[in-house]
Amino acid sequence: MARWLVHDLRNPVQALTLTAHVMDEMPAGSPLAPREMIAQQSAHLARSLELLDRAFRPASSELESGPIALRGPVEFVAALHRLLKTSARLDVTGALRPGLPAVLGREADLEHALLNLLINALDASAGRGETTITLSAAPAGGRVALSILDDGPGVAEEMRERLFQPSSGGLGLGVARTLLQRSGGTLEYLPEVGPGACFVVSLPVWPTTARRG
């Protein structure tokens, strides 16, 4: 992820540098297009840094669990995906459909888990041309299940038992599962779904239905 983000942040910085040089060479009274470009690239850079700060902000154990509208974490992950500019398509329509209930948890923990799963899916899809990663959500039995499915090669059978261990090759799934468990959430791998890898985050529905995603 860091490699993709460095590449993305380098583009607006280079554009700002070039535009500043062009403005130095422009006569007085020239059009404002370069200044508009500076404003546009600066806004992009600020947004990228905001997402980067949010993605790597450490989770706080002092935060209390509360109602989470799923739209926020899902849109956060979608925005980061757009920032990464990969060849893999991310389909989140199934996770943004109206009527989904709010869930119980910590928003930062859910964002961390979804981001972790997205990065793993992107790594699995790397070098495979145009691929699709699907994020969907569905209520079931007093909980909401968020599934992230890629069309990569899947998880080798010999790796499945160690997926959630700290030494699982840097996948970070053990940390994501531990964070979710603090609020009664779960994170599981479903080997029988699809040709690629399918992970499911399950969170309890918030007792009241005042907030919906």
- For residue 179, the domain's CATH number is 3.30.565.10
User: Looking at the predicted structure, is the pLDDT value of residue 58 above 70?
Assistant: no
Residue positions counted in the chain: 213
Host domain of residue 42: 2-56
Q: By the 8 A CB rule, do 176 and 108 touch?
A: no
Tell which of 56, 76, 102 closes a domain: 56
Do both 126 and 155 map to the same domain? yes
pTM score: 0.70
Same domain for 142 and 85?
A: yes
Q: Give residue-wise pLDDT tens across range 106-134.
A: 998 898 899 889 988 988 888 777 899 99
pLDDT in tens, 64-110: 789 999 999 999 889 888 877 788 999 999 999 999 999 999 998 89
For residues 40 and 73, membership in a common domain is answered with no
Q: Which tokens belong to 95?
A: 């996770």
